[in-house]
């Protein structure tokens, strides 16, 4: 369910706001003092080390970006460029790397003894599905280029996604398989079912079976939901929860069916890619043929992963995926103010301003400097759930006494840094959250998160155990202590 929009937000279907001074120019900021809508010519940027703060040229007050939902830029528009996803330098590098791994596993599978085929087959499926779901999640965070997956935990990062992927894929086709092999009049049973699934034998009457075609179409419509459920970490039982499936489809609306259409088109291309792969293998260019054949058959699946990720990026909040505030983005995108001022705490004069823009000189007044202080900017970034700006501002404030930053801001930055993979910053922020207010509810929560980062992401099990034991000692009756108790081995004394 969608959360309430943040302040100064414009609905995705609402008209864009226009500048107070230039009524024909779209506005991207709103002054927090005079509430004027500002275009890039009426806003001025001021640097705070690596972060740009924005002020109003009319009254000198601070300005915040006007936000809109990601869906303002529709999924249909985004899908027009989805085909480029694989055909970038980084994309071709990832495809090549995965093709090498799959080619080796395929070679091992082909020449292994029958009783040894299970291991390479499992590794083959795990490598494919782990990469597939990694690409879905990366695209759901707005990444437009492939990045080589980092599998730091072999079971959780590779084997488990493979099991989940095979389960999801098999689940949607299971009704058609069961009907073909066991329920259809004149059914084939296990023996002939294997030949049908491998394509070695296809009875003509099977192609004229309306029930089978209906079940195949059901699988086509069901597949995106099953893959999304798996990618976002929902329980596998959600795949079979019909009311939940219908709610998901209804929440996504036409974008779901647009995704189904895109996956069907990619499925057709994938069949053609298999024909090309067969021709490449027939050429028998030693190991090169295998690598090229695998690469050709990866293009459509990896593009499909990007399509599913784009659906989550645009409409994931409808499914409760991610933080709702993250789906609200600046309405002008990456556009920045055209005017610049001296960095904070410097007395250098403003860059050349147009004639008549004199009110902004008030920013140099001490009261305006206080309003532009980094702590206020950090509070604004945390309130807006602007993770990059909050992390950058927090870095600039770390030299100041910890007590000046509220514990909830330490905690927010610590959580954000852990998600973004900046573990040193996460550790520093979570430690500060506990130190700044040890008697508040944020402290035990921050310590548990700190222990998880240390143990699960930084492989420092000893230090993580120390933190868990401190939680048990300092906050014995908290929910954090109950969580820690399950992860600490019994004491020997």
Q: State pLDDT tens for residues 390-449.
A: 887 777 666 444 436 788 888 898 888 888 888 888 888 898 888 777 888 888 889 989
The region of weakest confidence among 73-82, 308-317, 438-447, 479-488 is: 479-488
For residue 263, count other CB atoms closer than 10 A to its CB: 21
φ and ψ of 460, to 5 deg: -105, 75
Q: Looking at the domain that runs over 398-493, which CATH code has it been given? A: 1.25.40.10
Higher pLDDT: 342 or 73? It is 73
Query: What pLDDT shows up at residue 357?
Result: 42
The string of DSSP letters for 197-234 reads HHTS---HHHHT-HHHHHHHHHHHHHHHHHHHHHHTT-
Q: What is the pLDDT of residue 41?
A: 92
Q: Which two tokens stand for residue 19?
A: 């500048």
In sequence order, which residues have a C-beta less than 8 Å from that of residue 326 and are 6 or more positions away? 385, 387
Residues of the chain with CATH 1.25.40.10: 398-493
- The answer to whether 234 and 194 are in contact (CB under 8 A) is no
Query: Can you tell me the mean pLDDT for 358-376?
Result: 45
Kindly report the three-state secondary structure assignment for every residue of 358-421.
Answer: CHHHHHHCHHHHHHCCHHHHHHHHHHCCCHHHHHHHHHHHCCCCHHHCCHHHHHHHHHHHHHHC
Mean pLDDT of 328-351: 68
């Amino acid at each position: 369910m969608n959360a309430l929009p943040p302040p100064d937000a414009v609905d995705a279907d609402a008209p864009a706001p226009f500048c107070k001074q230039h009524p024909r120019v779209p506005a991207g900021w709103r002054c927090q003092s005079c509430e004027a809508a500002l275009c890039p010519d009426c806003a001025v940027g001021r640097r705070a080390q690596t972060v740009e703060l924005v002020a109003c040229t009319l009254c000198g007050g601070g300005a915040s970006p006007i936000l809109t939902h990601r869906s303002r830029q529709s999924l249909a528009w985004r899908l027009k460029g989805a085909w480029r996803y694989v055909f970038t330098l980084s994309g071709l590098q990832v495809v090549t790397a995965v093709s090498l791994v799959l080619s080796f596993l395929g070679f091992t599978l082909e020449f292994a003894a029958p009783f040894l085929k299970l291991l390479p087959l499992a590794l083959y499926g795990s490598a494919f599905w782990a990469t597939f779901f990694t690409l879905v999640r990366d695209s759901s965070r707005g990444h437009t280029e492939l990045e080589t997956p980092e599998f730091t935990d072999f079971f959780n990062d590779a084997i488990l996604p493979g099991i989940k992927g095979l389960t999801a894929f098999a689940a949607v086709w299971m009704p058609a398989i069961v009907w073909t092999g066991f329920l259809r009049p004149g059914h084939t049973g296990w023996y002939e079912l294997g030949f049908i699934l491998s394509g070695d034998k296809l009875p003509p009457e099977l192609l004229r079976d309306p029930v089978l075609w209906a079940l195949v179409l059901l699988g086509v419509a069901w597949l995106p939901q099953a893959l999304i459920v798996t990618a976002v970490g929902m329980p596998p039982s959600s795949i079979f929860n019909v009311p939940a499936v219908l709610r998901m489809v209804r929440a996504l609306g036409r974008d779901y069916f647009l995704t189904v259409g895109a996956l069907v088109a990619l499925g057709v291309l994938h069949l053609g890619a298999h024909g090309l792969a067969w021709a490449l293998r027939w050429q028998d260019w030693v190991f090169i043929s295998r690598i090229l054949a695998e690469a050709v058959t990866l293009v459509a699946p990896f593009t499909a992963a990007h399509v599913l990720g784009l659906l989550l990026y645009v409409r994931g909040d409808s499914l409760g995926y991610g933080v709702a505030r993250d789906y609200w983005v600046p309405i002008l995108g990456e556009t920045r103010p055209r005017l610049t001022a001296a960095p904070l705490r410097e007395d250098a004069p403003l860059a050349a301003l147009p004639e008549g823009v004199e009110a902004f000189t008030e920013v140099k007044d001490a009261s305006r400097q206080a309003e532009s202080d980094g702590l206020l900017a950090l509070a604004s970034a945390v309130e807006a759930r602007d993770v990059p700006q909050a992390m950058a501002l927090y870095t600039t404030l770390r030299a100041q006494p910890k007590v000046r930053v509220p514990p909830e801001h330490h905690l927010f930055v610590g959580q954000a840094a852990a998600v973004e993979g900046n573990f040193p910053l996460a550790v520093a922020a979570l430690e500060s959250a506990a130190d700044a207010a040890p008697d508040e509810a944020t402290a035990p929560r921050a310590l548990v998160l700190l222990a998880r980062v240390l143990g699960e992401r930084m492989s420092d099990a000893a230090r993580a155990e120390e933190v868990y034991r401190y939680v048990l000692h300092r906050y014995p009756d908290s929910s954090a202590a109950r969580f820690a108790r399950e992860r600490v081995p019994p004491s020997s004394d």
